[in-house]
Amino acid sequence: MNKPDLIIPKYDVKTDKYSLGTEWITITMVDDTNRLLDEMSTKDHLLETNFPFWAELWPSGLALARYIWSNFDFHGEQVLELGCGLGIVGIVARKKQAKVLMTDYNNDALIFAKYNAIKNRCEDIQFLRMDWRHPNLDNQKFKYILAADIIYEEQNWIPIVNIFDTYLEAHGEAILAEPNRPNAKGFFEILRRKGFSFSQISNTVSLNGGVSRVLIYRIRYKSG
């Protein structure tokens, strides 16, 4: 499998390597996201309903991948990723012995994520197209839920918190990377009202010539 058949006709792609400290991850992505946006802007409805956030690697994804690599061994636990995008977080979780289900709303994101998983020898990751407002996870429970930079739109806050509340095991944990957005405070207020507590760790990530501060949140049910 040299190039994904469903990607090449639609996109020009590039492949880069990213260090985890003791290992490298190879990620294929859209080569020029600005050109992609220009093409999509000719059909305004595409940007309104299908903005291609998934098409590039963001600092929060790289920060979360590195944090998981350095701090976890999942020992076969069930792990759900929300908004997997290009797949780097789920791939790292699999390399750290998780049983991974990657989800995203965008079909092309899932194609890229699956391709990247195969390239990084993580062929047994599972993939599912999912709308956060209508999760199709049946009665599954997960020890961990992972997500990077998914709370940028207020309309998604309650659906995401509801997923944590419904699908996280009683002693499980959600691990969320967030790039210090000013409006994120409201999301964490909803978490508190739902009975969650959380801790915060600050990371600095260099990516594409810039340096970003990314906050890693470890979210659990309040004890007692």
| pLDDT, position 125 | 97
Question: 0.85 exceeded by the pTM?
Answer: yes
Residues in contact with 26: Cβ distance below 8 Å, sequence separation at least 6, in sequence order = 15, 16, 17, 116, 119, 120
Average pLDDT, integer, range 147-173? 96
Q: What is the pLDDT of residue 20?
A: 95
What is the per-residue pLDDT for 2?
43
Asked if residue 215 lies in contact with residue 178, where contact means CB atoms within 8 angstroms, the answer is yes
Q: Which H or E element spans position 213?
A: strand 210-221
- Residue 224 is predicted with a pLDDT of 45
H/E element, 20: none
Domain boundaries, the chain: 59-221
Tell me: the pLDDT tens digits for 109-146? 999 999 999 999 999 999 999 999 999 999 899 999 99
Model confidence at 50: pLDDT above 70 = no
Instruction: Please state the CATH superfamily assignment of the domain spanning residues 59-221 in this structure.
Output: Vaccinia Virus protein VP39 (3.40.50.150)
Computed over every residue of the chain, the mean pLDDT equals 89
In this prediction, what percent of the chain has a pLDDT beyond 70? Answer: 86
d(CA 193, CA 100): 29
By percentage, how much of the chain surpasses pLDDT 90? 75
Q: What is the mean pLDDT of residues 55-76?
A: 96
